[in-house]
Amino acid sequence: MSYGKAAAERLQNKVVLITGASSGIGFAIAEELAAVNSNIKLILTARSLDKLEKLKQSLEKKYEGIEVLAKKLDVSDVNSIVPFVNQLPKEYADIDILVNNAGLALGRDEVGEINPTDIETMFQTNVLGLITMTQAVLPRMKERNTGFILGLGSIASRDGYPGGSIYCATKASVRSFFQSLSKELISTKVRCSLLEPGMVRTNFSMTRFRNDQQKEADTYKGGEPLNAVDIAEIAAFILTRRENTVIAETLVFPTNQASSAHIYRSE
């Protein structure tokens, strides 16, 4: 995607922390921001350090001037988040942009049949991990009176569907959290924004269905979902607006979708 010079310059020398950056939307956002302005510092976190290191090497080879720190972090382990942030190298300590991307869905079981471990994992990752990361980063943003917190939500926050009760509940929690956060920040120059995609084909459904390829394929059958790059382009647009501009919430669908329950299928 092409960005104007002024928009690209707004990323100049920024320190950007992205959770869940080893694949999918987080991976694509790292690539997109580097393409917009390579004079940035990226902190890439996820559970898979090997994948992060490969992304780091690819970015450093492709973009002159970029600085990349790849660090293992599982945001579901909320007690590890504050120490992680506090132990960042000095040159990465003042985070300008936090992209709360890490999240997952597990299973499509209905209420009464849901594995308690799946419930805990989804809330720990999607809600408590996001909140704890935000709390760890926000005070220094407030001290400097600048910064941007971007959350990756979902249409599921607004429109529950059968078999999605826990995932939908986690994303509704994220949406409420950001609505409150935005009101708390209006007297500062720290901004926050929530990006809520509809159907996006990444490794999301493979994780949800525990690598069942048929169930993953059936999820997207008869339509054309968005992909990670589609969301990354929108994220980069949000993050490169002037400091007096906040795109508070963004809801984005593929053309064959109008809600989580209304998906046009061609067959």
Helix 165-184 vs helix 116-123: crossing angle, to nearest 10: 20
**Which one of 161, 171, 189, 220 is the catalytic residue?**
171
H-run or E-run covering 215 = helix 213-220
Q: Tokens at residue 160, please?
A: 């529950």
- What string of DSSP letters covers 168-225? HHHHHHHHHHHHHHHHHTTTSSEEEEEEEESSB-SSHHHHHTTT-HHHHHHHHTTS--
Please indicate whether residue 167 is annotated as part of the active site.
Answer: yes
Q: Tokens at residue 61, please?
A: 């080879």
**Which one of 90, 167, 183, 215 is the catalytic residue?**
167
**Alpha-carbon distance 223 to 167, whole Å?**
22
**Phi/psi of residue 14, nearest 5 degrees:** -75, 150
Residues 6+ apart with CB under 8 A from 74: 47, 80
**Alpha-carbon distance 42 to 67, whole Å?**
6
**Alpha-carbon distance 21 to 170, whole Å?**
20
Check if the beta carbon of residue 59 is closer than 8 Å to that of residue 70.
no
- What string of DSSP letters covers 220-233? HTTS--B-HHHHHH
Beta carbons within 10 angstroms of residue 29's beta carbon: 29
Catalytic residues: 167, 171
